[in-house]
């Protein structure tokens, strides 16, 4: 089957949009600030999805703690963006220790208080509120705090055994999520293949992980047999396609996946129609939740929808979500 000319043209435009960036920019894209996969809720959920496929519910409690960690660090990052002084961070810590809900005008959300109360002292919240330099809070959160759950997961999973599963990641970027799948100790349990349209991304990924199967590829035409992979996960991709190309891309990832797909969307809404928005040479669409679900239901037996904002509100009473349009789909075959 040869790709239609219109999809070939769309591919060229997409490639142009990404290839204009240098390798350093691409390497850091989607792995900083709230997009850092260590604290980005959708990236955390996709790792948990993989862990559940490997080990069932064994690590459900740890997964819950890691989600709380992501919420806490994201909340602190928002405080720092408001140029909150270091002494006010100390006031927040004192308020948490003494059970107060307000620290010198900073309201402390219930999910922060609940998380703090559930941790043994000293804990990572103490570290977060104590680390800031005396003069300013412009420094990034230090690595020893950011890697808190990376260390826990990698130590625990080092003791585990499981039959390997095959996993595909379209639009893998510069190993944006894979680098944390690796550092969290999950990579040893999977046969991973990642592809991306942009050769610069693949060069970055191979430089970091020369032994891993990273390749240049196109989601409109995946060179793999039907059901070639057990699982597939993909982030922040489908909003960038024309609606016809969206259908082709979904059909392709469903064709090559035999068991389940985890999809992270960054721009969706509850209306019945997609909103097409052209941005330069590609799209920045707002996809309809119901229409996208129907599209996946052509191929999948069940499609589970997680609205990130609603999920965090119901699970943790957290309403501090940086992206209210974020959804994660789980399509099972």
Q: What is the pLDDT of residues 111-166, one digit of tens each?
A: 999 999 999 877 999 998 887 655 554 567 888 999 999 999 999 999 999 999 99
To the nearest whole percent, how much of the chain has pLDDT over 90?
77
More confident residue, 313 or 89: 313
Does pLDDT of 295 surpass 70?
yes
Question: What is the per-residue pLDDT for 242?
Answer: 95
pLDDT for residue 54 is more than 90: yes
Antiparallel, parallel or unpaired: β 229-235 and 302-307: unpaired
**Which one, of 200, 205, 233, lies nearest residue 219 by Cα?**
233
What is the rounded average pLDDT of the residues 71-81? Answer: 89
Query: Topology of 5-31+162-332 in CATH?
Result: Rossmann fold (3.40.50)
| Rounded mean pLDDT, 252-267 | 98
pLDDT tier at 28, thresholds 50, 70, 90: confident
Most distant CA pair in the chain: distance in Å? 67
pLDDT confidence band for 78 (50 / 70 / 90): confident
Neighbours of 58 (CB within 10 A): 13
Residue 1 confidence (pLDDT) above 60: no
Average per-residue pLDDT for the chain: 93
**Res 133: pLDDT:** 56
Per-residue model confidence (pLDDT) at position 80? 80
269 pLDDT more than 70: yes
Note the pTM of the prediction, 2 decimals: 0.95
Q: Is 17's pLDDT higher than 80?
A: yes
State both tokens at 7. Answer: 């999809």
- What's the confidence (pLDDT) of residue 215? 98
Residue 287 has pLDDT above 80, yes or no: yes
Strands (E), the chain: 102-103, 106-107, 165-170, 190-196, 213-216, 229-235, 257-265, 268-269, 278-279, 282-283, 287-288, 302-307, 327-332
Strand partners, 264: 235, 328
């Amino acid at each position: 089957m040869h790709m239609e000319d219109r999809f070939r043209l769309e591919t060229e435009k997409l490639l142009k949009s990404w290839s204009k960036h240098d390798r350093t920019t691409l390497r850091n894209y989607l792995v900083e600030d709230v997009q850092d996969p260590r604290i980005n809720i959708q990236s955390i959920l996709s790792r948990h999805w993989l862990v559940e496929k490997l080990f069932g519910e064994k690590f459900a409690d740890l997964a819950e703690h890691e989600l709380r960690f992501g919420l806490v660090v994201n909340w602190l990052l928002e405080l720092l963006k408001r140029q909150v002084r270091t002494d006010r961070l100390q006031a927040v810590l004192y308020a948490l220790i003494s059970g107060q809900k307000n620290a010198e005008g900073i309201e402390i959300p219930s999910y922060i208080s609940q998380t703090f109360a559930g941790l043994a002292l000293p804990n990572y919240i103490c570290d977060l509120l104590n680390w800031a330099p005396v003069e300013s809070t412009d420094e990034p959160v230090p690595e020893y705090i950011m890697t808190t759950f990376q260390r826990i997961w990698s130590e625990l999973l080092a003791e585990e055994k499981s039959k390997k599963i095959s996993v595909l990641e379209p639009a893998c970027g510069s190993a944006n999520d894979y680098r944390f799948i690796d550092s969290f100790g999950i990579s040893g349990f999977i046969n991973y293949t990642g592809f991306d349209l942009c050769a610069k991304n693949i060069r970055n990924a191979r430089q970091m992980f020369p032994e891993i199967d990273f390749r240049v590829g196109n989601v409109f035409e995946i060179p793999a047999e039907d059901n070639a992979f057990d699982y597939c996960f993909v982030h922040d991709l489908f909003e960038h396609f024309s609606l016809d190309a969206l259908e082709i891309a979904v059909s392709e990832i469903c064709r090559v996946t035999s068991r389940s797909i985890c999809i992270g969307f960054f721009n969706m809404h509850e209306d019945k129609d997609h909103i097409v928005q052209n941005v330069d040479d590609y799209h920045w669409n707002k996809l309809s939740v119901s229409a996208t679900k129907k599209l996946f239901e052509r191929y999948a037996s069940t499609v589970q929808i997680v609205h990130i904002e609603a999920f965090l509100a119901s699970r943790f009473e957290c309403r501090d979500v940086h992206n209210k349009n974020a959804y994660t789909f789980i399509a099972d075959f």
